Structure 1
Amino acid sequence: MSTKPLLFKNARLVDPDTGREDKGGLLVRDGVIQDLGPQLTQAVDADIIDCGGQVLAPGLIDMRAFIGEPGGPYRETLKSAGEAAAAGGVTTVVSMPDTSPVLDDPAVIDFIVRRARDTSIVNILPAAALTKGLKGEEMAEIGRLKEAGAIAFTDGVRSVTNAQVMRRTLTYARDFDALIVHHVEDPDLVGQGVMNEGEFASRLGLSGIPREAETIMLERDMRLVRLTGGRYHAAMISCADSAEIVRSAKAKGLPVTCGVSINHLSLNENDIGDYRTFLKLSPPLRHEDDRQAMIEALNDGTVDVIVSDHNPQDVENKRLPFAEAADGAVGLETLLSAAMRLVHSDRVSLPKLLRALSMKPAEILGLPAGRLKIGAPADLVLFDPDAPYVLDKRQLKSLSKNTPFDEARLEGQVTITMVAGRIVFDRRSM
């Protein structure tokens, strides 16, 4: 339906596609960007929002979020995930197939598409299972699942250890131009490990997970991509050796991209401290040298996207001894604020950061969003990059509160989130 145009004026426009930063305005009409630039200071017959110099940028696109619905609505529903995403400036979320039932049937994919459209205030796009039942044994029906609305194919937190199965899925997906997203972690090498292998794990008396659990699986996948030519995205890498593997594959022209969790850019193994289970993640938090390597990989383009790895867990699964606690942390609402730490410490420029949070995910997924340009969807976030606050987990909109940033001092608060020209979050009215 046609609605009255809306002008954002006096904004700091940041376009991650071109890297340009301009002071000016942006006009939204009928759900798309109609005009923008320094010259745009007024518009006839339009509602006006004075941004007061705050940053106006494309809405964030999160390529990795676990949502409990269907099967685990006590953890997170599509509705609550949408509210959490909107509060964090995220306008599009890719949901993982680790649900009950698993998203390996076209009818279930269709249900998620319809349910998300009816209940979520942001775009939620389902990723379908790569193998049936997430068992890693038999390839899912990629063609039918894509037709039903699957945006990508992944086994979520599980790795496909059978190289022949992975080869077949890459080959089949290539013919449908489908994207394979893989969790690179060899479960046999992980074994009983619960955190990064090294001196700190020994001090805590916890079993370690070697970096090789990630790098061996990643190296195997690069060779299979070379063999098949299928489009491949490593869901998350976490160590320096993995960055070198991806860097080498890209230099050879392979159709490879990769992501990194905001947790692995902001935190290291020392943050686990006295067995803080909210920081028990998969892959585990690494050594500080690996964190620095991830930042450098983001700067040089080896790392394409930053994800929240939003994985809500209830209290019963987290209030346990560290070794027994479930992996995962919520992250949709803190994704932007935590990422702004890299900007405030002068490690990453704001346009480059937003590129990894919006434009590159859109490019990889084939979405028209992620850019400030005429005709693009009006999926936007207005935020104050310098606004300080202390995170109170009780105020999170997610149903689960397992955030690694509880009581952390953060900078950068979302003021307005807009999806398809409709304001879905407005801090000014809170």
Structure 2
Amino acid sequence: MKLLIRNGHVLDPFTGLDGISDVLVEDSRIVKVAEGIQETADQTIDASGSYVMPGFIDLHVHLRDPGLTHKETLETGGRAAARGGVTTMCAMPNTKPVTDMKEMVADLHRRAAEESPVHVIQLGAVTKGEMGEELSDIKGMAEAGCHAISEDGKSVMDASLYRKAMRIAKENGISVFAHCEDINMVEGGVMNAGAKAEELGVKGISNAVEDVIVARDILLAKETGVRLHLCHCSTADSVKMIAAAKKEGLPVTGEVCPHHFILSTDDIKENNGQYKMNPPLRSPEDVEALREGLKNGIMDVISTDHAPHAEEEKNLPMEKAFFGIVGLETSACLTYTELVEKGVLTPMQMAEKMSYNPAQILGLQDKGSISAGKTADIVVFDPAAEYRIDKNTFLSKGKNTPFDGYPVKGEVLYTIVDGAIVYAK
């Protein structure tokens, strides 16, 4: 099976290619990237006026499968990912039951290959049941291809236990993905601490709740040598600490979600559960620091923290609503609209932060690039399309987003996984 993508503006962070070119795919691999390829193909895509980028890799997704499939499944999450240009996603382990054993990781990978149109990497929990008391089978889960361990949704508060987990992860060549939150400091908070929380009469969550664990985890990574990836960073001090870690040469990376680099507490006009997420939307100063961190390369990755919920779980005041926002179908258009169009990132940097850097963090040397020999995971993205986000069109079961009706520019036209078109506009 041959697929020819013609006349697209190819963006390849690996080779540095940034210009009009054709891409020839045979079976699951890219075989040639050049201008004016003269080949007979089984299928041809005219990508004129569009960017051709390596498929996006989302390091932070909640698929809710098993156990919470009224919110999302491998199949619905996979279709949502394909629509958003995501060709590989990392599924967090806070499922029901928690994914904390080799057999569970292996079974989820088997099911995902059958049910999801995109690649799924199932991460493993740090501790059994995410209870923070006893380590999971980290070695076994690494053998099953988990690529990273994470206690996402909470932090491992026992630093000694966490250090042991980091050492085992290091020994087995996998990363640690950290949700940085000192649970003892949350104190019932539901949004960022400050004037807006006081105005709405709700309890706040201070920046220190995140920052103290960022500092701790960086120091533990320094001691153990493990690759540490800091999830959904939301504060200015997180950016500063990651910058300091990089300056010291530590294997530390950080991600930012679109809701954190776009929205602030100023955008919360009422006590509305759609604005409740963890970590919370922060101050305009934090938002600016995150954007600057993305621009100057301190923050490596744009991920979604896609966290679908049923409508009855989100259409509530913040005190009662679940934490979380969906993002698989909106991350590309929001990134292009708010960062590329506004000159914060170049189109190449968008591809770097949404594909190449995540591939490097996961050790996926065959992904994150549009070059000969690489896996044919590709997205064709139209930067000229203008529309408003409509949650009712989402393929995800989750419709929980404050971006409903938000004007955006940029749309995924095709998503290609292993050389096969899995989504076409």
TM-score normalized with structure 2 length: 0.97
* Structure 2 Cα separation of the partners of residues 191 and 228 of structure 1: 31
Alpha-carbon shift at residue 156 of structure 1 (Å): 1.2
Q: Is the 8 A contact 1:195 1:201 kept in 2?
A: yes
Alpha-carbon shift at residue 82 of structure 1 (Å): 0.6
Amino acid at match of 1:360: N
Amino acid at match of 1:317: E
* Structure 2 Cα separation of the partners of residues 52 and 237 of structure 1: 36
Q: Is the 8 A contact 2:8 2:49 kept in 1?
A: yes
RMSD of equivalent CA atoms: 1.1
**Alignment equivalent of 1:258, drawn from 254, 272, 277:** 254
* Structure 1 Cα separation of the partners of residues 63 and 41 of structure 2: 41
**Alignment equivalent of 1:24, drawn from 21, 29, 36:** 21
Alpha-carbon shift at residue 53 of structure 1 (Å): 2.1
**Alignment equivalent of 1:312, drawn from 289, 298, 308:** 308
* Structure 2 Cα separation of the partners of residues 81 and 373 of structure 1: 28
Q: Counterpart of 1:82?
A: 78
Q: Is the 8 A contact 1:7 1:42 kept in 2?
A: no
**Alignment equivalent of 1:193, drawn from 158, 180, 189:** 189
Q: Is the 8 A contact 1:20 1:351 kept in 2?
A: no
Taking the TM superposition and a 5 Å limit, the aligned residue runs for 1:11-410 are 11-37=8-34, 39-341=35-337, 342-367=339-364, 368-410=366-408
SS for the counterpart of 1:213 is: helix
State the Cα deviation string for residues 82-117 of structure 1 (Å, max 9, x = none).
Answer: 100000000001000011111001111111001100
Q: Counterpart of 2:412?
A: 414
SS for the counterpart of 1:425 is: strand
* Structure 2 Cα separation of the partners of residues 349 and 18 of structure 1: 16
Range with bigger deviation, 11-20 or 102-111: 11-20
Alpha-carbon shift at residue 277 of structure 1 (Å): 1.3
Could you tell me which runs of 5 or more consecutive residues in structure 2 were left unpaired when the two chains were aligned. Answer: none
* Structure 2 Cα separation of the partners of residues 423 and 203 of structure 1: 49
Q: Is the 8 A contact 1:181 1:234 kept in 2?
A: yes
Provide runs of 4+ in structure 1 moved above 6 Å. Answer: none
* Structure 2 Cα separation of the partners of residues 171 and 18 of structure 1: 34
* Structure 2 Cα separation of the partners of residues 351 and 36 of structure 1: 17
Alpha-carbon shift at residue 40 of structure 1 (Å): 2.8
Q: Is the 8 A contact 2:57 2:87 kept in 1?
A: yes
SS for the counterpart of 2:319 is: helix
Range with bigger deviation, 416-425 or 366-375: 366-375
Alpha-carbon shift at residue 46 of structure 1 (Å): 4.5
State the Cα deviation string for residues 214-269 of structure 1 (Å, max 9, x = none).
Answer: 11111111111122112211112111111111110111111111111111012111
Alpha-carbon shift at residue 399 of structure 1 (Å): 0.9
Alpha-carbon shift at residue 149 of structure 1 (Å): 2.4
State the Cα deviation string for residues 150-183 of structure 1 (Å, max 9, x = none).
Answer: 1210011111111111111111211111111110
Could you tell me which runs of 5 or more consecutive residues in structure 1 were left unpaired when the two chains were aligned. Answer: none
Alpha-carbon shift at residue 41 of structure 1 (Å): 4.0
Amino acid at match of 1:28: V
State the Cα deviation string for residues 10-65 of structure 1 (Å, max 9, x = none).
Answer: 1111112344311121101121111112x234313453221122111001000000
* Structure 2 Cα separation of the partners of residues 8 and 339 of structure 1: 24
Range with bigger deviation, 81-90 or 18-27: 18-27
TM-score normalized with structure 1 length: 0.96
SS for the counterpart of 1:129 is: coil
Amino acid at match of 1:134: E
